[in-house]
Amino acid sequence: MADKFRHNNHHRNTPKRKENTVPKKSFNQIQSSLYDDFSQSLGIEFMLMNVLQLAWPVHKVKLDVTVTAEPEDVLKEIHITLLQLIKIKINTYQSIAAFLGLEPTDFLLDELIELRKNYLIEYYDDAFHLKPKGEDYLNGKISIQVTEKKTYPICIDGITHTVAADYDIARADDTFQKLEAVHKNIAYSFIESNWSDINTRYKSDNKGQEIVDLSNGRQSIDSQLFFEPRYLLIFRGKSETEEGKIRFKLVDRNRKEHASACKELEKHIFKSPETYLQNFAGFEYTGPEKPLDPLKEKLNSVNGFMHINFQEVDDYLRYALRTGKTVYMEVPRILRKARQFKYEIESFLKKPDTKLYLIYGVSDDYQHDAETITLFRALRATYSNFQFVDLPEVARFLGLKVSGVHNRVILKDNDFYIETTYNFFTLDASRKEKISAETATIFNRDVDDYFNKQKKTYQLK
């Protein structure tokens, strides 16, 4: 089965491999086609000013898994036959074997054990007896599932880490600008931390069946990195209200838009659009000197302190991770929503001379999302510049006067800190869910004094 997903290289004279590469159209032809398809896609206020060819990283991964499955029809027939015999009192190993013309040790009789495991029958008085669940099975009301080992191929986006069903990846040639994947290989730890998403994908692809076990060892994940062609469409505002603004779309060769991947790419581009975009052949940045970062502009207007919309707190955290050297956070609770910041946090930790503090926890019995805590602990083990502090646990050992965190705080360098009632690692203000009227205040005076006070309180290094 594994060979099914490999390229067939036995027939060297066939063009099969070439089918997996981008058709040899000139870039001018591709640009012209994309202009025709997308020039008006953002309305009359924006014009499509350029198209860049990107080689986008995608990991092809093969997992050795044990999965639930429906038994084959022949096995269902065996189960039904055994249950019907037991129902009419042909219900000992010897009588069943004799009726079916089998030896008592025949492997088919092992299915009696399987029926017992699934509580369809029970054994007492030296005989098998039908249970109510067995009657339901005979009447077609329930089914039993078996497990089987198989190879499950998936594709993982090298930048967003989105898990997708396996597909045939077209290969970008050397004329495409290659983007660097966040990870060169998919490690066992990545599979562990993204297990829920992988299993959800499997259920979606396989009609509700699920993975019950991963057989790959820590060193045996079969992972290969490929680069597929995508096109970055760059739009520039031309109306009075939009002039100088830049917008992007990211599409593949089938003209499918990749919105979430485009957002990840934008985070890099807007750090320094001139530097970043001029890395691409044929592009000349002709916009204003630099698109204004709205958060930076707002920070420049803060005089001591300013109340802000709590829905902007997530954006300020991303801004701090994107531009800061020292970022400090306090949260009482960590739930799954915190994983939305995984990419920014790991990118921050990879940069030289950075330091990240995350202090969390109200008390020992306060519930957190276990998978997210495991993810952060793995990052702490990987990056020495990450202090991930379970305050209730640390307070017991160090005898701290403060044993829990009730604050929600974000601090960046000596630039600003935010105090808010909005738990940015629990609630998602960007979604249409019920959130109480939270408050948030940003301060840009005495930031170092505040930070040093917090470090002293929690005995941080």
Residue 386 parent element (H or E) = strand 386-390
Phi, psi for 114 (deg, rounded to 5):
-65, -40
Q: In this predicted structure, what is the pLDDT of residue 393?
A: 84
- 81-125 pLDDT, tens digit each: 999 999 999 999 889 988 988 886 776 678 888 888 888 999 999
Q: How far apart are CA 235 and CA 92, in angstroms?
A: 77
Q: How far is CA 346 from the centre of its chain?
A: 13
Ranges of the chain whose pLDDT falls below 70: 1-28, 104, 107-108, 208, 217-219, 238-240, 243-244, 268-294, 365, 428-437
Q: In this predicted structure, what is the pLDDT of residue 20?
A: 53
- 200-223 pLDDT, tens digit each: 888 888 876 788 788 776 667 888
For residues 308 and 441, the answer to whether their CB atoms sit within 8 Å is yes
Q: In this predicted structure, what is the pLDDT of residue 53?
A: 86
Report DSSP state, residue 304: S
Q: How far apart are CA 436 and CA 422, in angstroms?
A: 9
3-state secondary structure 351-399: CCCCEEEEEECCCCCCCCCHHHHHHHHHHHHHCCCEEEEEHHHHHHHHC
Q: In this predicted structure, what is the pLDDT of residue 33?
A: 80
Q: Beta strand 177-178 with 46-69: parallel, antiparallel or unpaired?
A: parallel
For residues 292 and 370, the answer to whether their CB atoms sit within 8 Å is no
Phi, psi for 243 (deg, rounded to 5):
-60, 135
Q: In this predicted structure, what is the pLDDT of residue 239?
A: 66
Residue entry with tokens 């779309």: 249
Q: In this predicted structure, what is the pLDDT of residue 93?
A: 86
Q: In this predicted structure, what is the pLDDT of residue 381?
A: 93
Q: In this predicted structure, what is the pLDDT of residue 108?
A: 67
Report DSSP state, residue 239: S
For residues 259 and 41, the answer to whether their CB atoms sit within 8 Å is no
